[in-house]
Amino acid sequence: MGKKPKYDLVLFILLMVLGFMPMLQGWLHIFPTKPLNGVTLATEKPKFDLDGYRSGAYAKQAEAYTSQQIGFREPIIRFYNQYLWDLYHKTYAKDVVGGKQGWLYYPQSVRDYYGQELLRWHPSTDEAKEKFDQEVKYLNWARNILRENGVELLVFMAPEKSFLYPEFLPDGEKDTTTFNASDYFARRFEETGFPHIEMTRWFQKIKDTVDYPLIPQAGAHWIFPSVYAVDSLSRLMGELKGIHLPKIKIGEAYHTRDRDHDYDNDLELLLNLTFPMKHQYGYYPRHKVRIEHDSTSVKPRVLFIGNSYFWAMQLFTPFKELFENTEFWFYGSTAYYGENLDQTISVTKLNLLEKLLDFDYIVWFTTGNQINKGTEGFAERTLVNLCFNEKDIAPIRIHLIDSLRYDSATLASFEAPFTDSNYKQMLWPKADQIMYSHSERYFPALCSDTLPKIRNPRIKEIMAINEIKKDSTWMWNLSACQTVIQNASFEQVLLMEAYNIIEGKPLMRDMNDPEAKRDRVESLVTDMLQQMRSNPITMQQNQEKAQKNGISEEQQLLLDARWIVNHLIKVGKIQL
């Protein structure tokens, strides 16, 4: 009996420790925990004020913040998710739908199979068809203009898991009043002769000939089968340009449990379970893939614009040996470039026209369910930039920005307030979205049913510059010319040479005596100085500019004389 109080004390201490451990863990992070997969939005610590306290807003914010900061949050959530999954086959993960026999799918993929995805993006099936028809027309027009300049455009549609393995989908009722967007695009491409590859139907034919899932049970993307797609893609590329690309040789298959990525269970990871699911974990085939070259094979430059299906394609196929240069624009927003695609830049910071003309092939690709959204502006943006220059586009954009600035709904959609200095930058993306999505309204030349004759005048300039850049000797000669034309950047010299090509003028590449050219420029500057000194108005303006710039009048005079001479050379008024 005398020991009972000791037991009570021990039990009390144990309960206190257990009660305060989550608080201590939240403060000190004593025990390492496995972070949750997926996107977690951090909740800011709320600031106390009487209005928030009275309305109850502070209490809600404090509760949300505390629940995110509590210790052992991650293992508790995983344990609860495991309980829901094991007993009820249920999950709160928004991006995962559980199917039969432990198969997992993206929800949009399931909706696409049952015909429910199309009307999430379009008011009606008629308007969807009208939109899709316009985009197919624009893609064909864009391809024609790009081909005029040696660039080939094609579309690639990656396989859709729900259509490959519908037998494991959760039960549902098909909406027979809609249509399948992927089928519609493929049919319209066939009718118009637009080059494309649709992988779902081909994979449906071969899925029973292999002893492994073409898309894993617990994953959303293909793994090694992506190599078959790259092989088909490279063959189509060769046919379109009449060239021979290096050949992809696939060796015998072997199985491995080595996992250098999460492609085979990326959906399972989003469930955030305590224990792995029971499936053929890590089971997928691997092959030795090699690239064969011969004297006739050509390695092209390829720009891929699309979704995450690209990563398995370049992981399992040695792109460096197949293509001379590869660039990937993830959903057209982030550009991955460099030798290992390890450098990034926002696509909005790139000159779209220059980039489109810098490659031999442009491959726009998507997945079946995502094409319900059409090309997401790619077709319209590409065509507009191929037909119109910035002088045509800028006034429309400015008009839309000024209109949006006073639109109450637009103002409410931004957290940061508009100012006179930032509103143009903030509204630019929204204005472009409206302009390109209603391109026929703002660019009447696109309303025709035939290929527009209008072309962006910068195309010739860009193609001439690209021609120069391919010749290292030419580039070196231009760098020598830069020393002759003082106060001119190399980009300006490059542009000058481009216009020499376009206008059929003598090329700086062929100049024989840089020193004589330099003397000629200095003589022209001396003559210009004499003309400027003889003009009282010019000298008065020169005096004011010198005072403003904080330099001597003679320095200002020399700068202006050189600028005038360089400008006359650039516009072709003076021949060196």
- Give per-residue pLDDT as tens, 171-204: 999 999 999 999 999 999 999 999 999 999 999 9
pLDDT band at 516 (very low <50, low <70, confident <90, very high): low
* Count of the separate structural domains present in the chain: 6
DSSP, res 329: E
Cα end-to-end span (Å), the chain: 113
- Give per-residue pLDDT as tens, 198-251: 999 999 999 888 888 899 898 899 988 999 999 999 999 999 999 999 999 988
Q: Is residue 144 domain-resident?
A: yes
Of 399, 421, 447, the residue that ends a domain is 447
- Dist CA 382 CA 289 (whole Å): 35
Tokens of 164: 């490959």
Same-domain check for residues 360 and 417: no
Same-domain check for residues 340 and 413: no
Which sign does the torsion angle of CA 483, 486, 489, 493 carry? negative
Tokens of 110: 């399931």
Tell whether the model's pLDDT for residue 257 goes beyond 70: no
Residue 510: how many CB atoms within 10 A of its CB?
9
Using a cut of 0.95, tell me whether the model's pTM lies above it: no
Same-domain check for residues 233 and 351: yes
Q: Which domain holds residue 506?
A: 457-511
Same-domain check for residues 180 and 328: yes
- Dist CA 108 CA 121 (whole Å): 12
Tell whether the model's pLDDT for residue 573 goes beyond 60: yes
Same-domain check for residues 498 and 442: no
Average pLDDT estimate for 314-340: 93
Average pLDDT estimate for 299-322: 94
- The type of residue at 551 is I
- Looking at the DSSP bridge assignments, the partners of residue 97 are 105
Q: Are 151 and 358 in contact (CB under 8 A)?
A: no
- The type of residue at 112 is D
Q: Is residue 83 domain-resident?
A: no
Average pLDDT estimate for 322-336: 94
For residue 515, the model assigns a pLDDT of: 61
- Dist CA 274 CA 85 (whole Å): 11
Same-domain check for residues 28 and 59: no
For residue 282, the model assigns a pLDDT of: 45
DSSP, res 447: G
- Give per-residue pLDDT as tens, 48-76: 666 665 666 656 665 555 555 565 667 77
Q: Is residue 311 domain-resident?
A: yes
- CA distances in angstroms from 509 to 479, 483, 512, 519, 521, listed in the order given: 10, 13, 9, 18, 17
- Dist CA 3 CA 312 (whole Å): 66
Same-domain check for residues 292 and 167: yes
Q: Is residue 78 domain-resident?
A: no
